[in-house]
A and B are shown apart, each in its own frame.
Chain A
């Protein structure tokens, strides 16, 4: 069954002092993939600056705006339409070839192929001395362990807005047991990679019709690579596998590769950004 989604992304930036000219780059366009078919995009901004479509360094589509105008506030609005195909996260044999799976992850070819998503970054590092973390049970399949990890994070960490920001190290998240979807996802990536499983950070939209966590910002979840299966999405913030409510925009090593809005401008004083996202569906 196909779902037709309408997504409205709004951002409003307010600056205390005048800004003379700026560049912005948005990484908010849903990716085209085997479950997502892109129908259309409409983008406007309050400065009427020309809009360009480009790519980021990893090839994901971006929207770029450059203005030479002087301004104190600027508002952006993007609306996307796309068709999402029903995802069955369990369309593979869960417990087949347990040993073969682990063996594969140890081969040099595997480690070379997935180097990028096995490497830890400052945002996905946990000191090796940390205790009480989720341990892989090698009698169980990689998938079962990742599912265990997903649930463990979901149960350990409480979703709470405002106690962390994007530079909060994971060790603090583990100690305070609080965070938002970026923190849940970084933790998942860190532990999967520590166990030799390639894992990438995914940013996107969550259709919240079912009371899921994810607030009205962009959502984040993880994709792990399971040998003989492929990339599988895990949403540790909600303790579920990614499904047809998850609309993917981009992936990378961590949040820094996926931040939805980057701006290059020079201003003194405070600035404030308000994001809002609405995802609605029709069957």
Chain B
């Protein structure tokens, strides 16, 4: 089908150097999108503007908001949602799903190893410094056996489609990855606004995430517990992901608690209720390691529970994800993922890794310093898109500043070639038209002793500013509903 001039896409401009997921190089609509394109084409831009404002109001009324840090005034924002969905073909999804499971399993085995025998280091496959210089390596976890041998129960894998049409992993998030609640509420919003459209495709449901998460949490119950009492612990309503914490607790049918709602007695954890203390067996924690227990980690933490870590170490309560997983989502560990997958699973990586330079290696550091304009510089231990510099967007002055930062603390930085994320037609309010915007995909993987689950869908994140490559919601990104088609 040819790109028609009378549709809501009539003013859509295609930059031929970008990989557009809908239009091929000749402006023809990809087969998967034909029906969708047809259906949207029947509407005028006014219809769309109208629908869009209704969808926005619905998000706000449901309280689906988040907060952005680092602004002078903290403000609740709606996570901008685009009504034009992204469709993933079953054959492509198959690669993504197998790739995400492979990475989660490999990372889990890696975590077990570096908290036990450390064979991968003894055999010289990864350097000692990767652990010994990581602030997220918790010595308290050495020789601790988490229930079922699982550390990263929940992983969020950030995947992009490069202009070569192949998928690449940008990051593995295995601390407290967030975003899954948006996947589900995006679907609800889209179905509500455009029910007729959704029905033309056979897409997998995304509402089974919570039941799979609960199933996993229950499977990690401590020894001797029959029916486990699971809770979700949140840092509180001022956390940027509070909506998600409350959403997951509600849909799993478990209590949402803050640190002050729990206490530890004789190394068991209890929840305060109006009927008296109730023992807690499994905690889905959305609090970082350093804030879990002020008696063990940061003493100034008011978010955690005094004595929680001792209860965990004695096996009386399970924490998901396990403490100490952060060491493996260090971006320097990321660069060893192909080796890690090969070593533990004896398999070739299914998903590509982006070529990465370690600033801690002198010759790679020199290359990075001389080629900053062609590279993305990332701090190894930050999440949420903070601290990232994209070389070709920097002024000469800014480049010099980045150079100094990198030289002062090379271990803190890695560099990657600037990847060209694929683009997707996205409705832009200011111009009241569809424009190309860069997108990525965060998938959610649940790993248990006898469980491997990837949510068939995921969060397609959109960089709303023209040309911007950083899609994180904390950096002003939006999202799209993501349809994984049935075979």
Contacts and interface: CB of A to CB of B under 8 A. Distances in A.
B132 A56 contact: no
Contact of A57 (B140, B266, B267): B140
B313 A52 contact: no
Contacts of A66: 263, 265, 306
A52 B307 CA distance: 11
A45 B31 CA distance: 76
Q: Looking at chain A, what size class is its interface with the partner chain? A: 20 to 34
Count chain A CB atoms within 10 A of each CB in B121, B124, B307 and give the residue with the most.
B307
Contacts of B138: 57
Contacts of A52: 265-267
A112 B121 contact: yes
A176 B294 CA distance: 33
Contacts of B309: 57
B131 interface: yes
B350 interface: no
Given A25-B295, A115-B131, A116-B142, A55 B306 contact: no
A108 B128 contact: yes
A134 to B, nearest CB: 23
A23 B301 CA distance: 13
Interface residues of B, number: 25
Interface in A8-62: 23, 25, 52, 54-59, 62
Contacts of A54: 267, 307, 310
A262 B131 contact: no
B140 A58 contact: yes
Contacts of A57: 138-140, 296, 309-310, 313
A29 B198 CA distance: 66
Interface in B294-328: 294-296, 299, 306-307, 309-310, 313-314
B122 interface: yes
B263 A56 contact: no
Nearest to B118: A112
Contacts of A108: 121-122, 124, 128
A182 interface: no
A23 B128 contact: no
A111 interface: yes
Contact of B132 (A58, A119, A262): A119
Contacts of A116: 139, 142
A253 interface: yes
A187 interface: no
Nearest to A57: B140
A23 B314 CA distance: 20
A115 B128 contact: yes
A262 B267 CA distance: 17
A205 to B, nearest CB: 22
A253 B313 contact: no
18 contacts: A23-B307, A54-B267, A54-B307, A54-B310, A56-B295, A56-B310, A57-B140, A59-B313, A66-B265, A108-B121, A108-B128, A112-B128, A115-B128, A116-B139, A116-B142, A264-B294, A264-B299, A264-B306
Given A55-B310, A264-B306, 7 more contacts: A23-B306, A56-B295, A56-B296, A57-B309, A62-B310, A115-B128, A262-B299
Interface of B: 118, 121-122, 124, 128, 131-132, 138-140, 142, 263, 265-267, 294-296, 299, 306-307, 309-310, 313-314
Closest 7 CB pairs of A and B: A57-B140, A23-B306, A54-B310, A25-B295, A264-B294, A57-B296, A112-B118
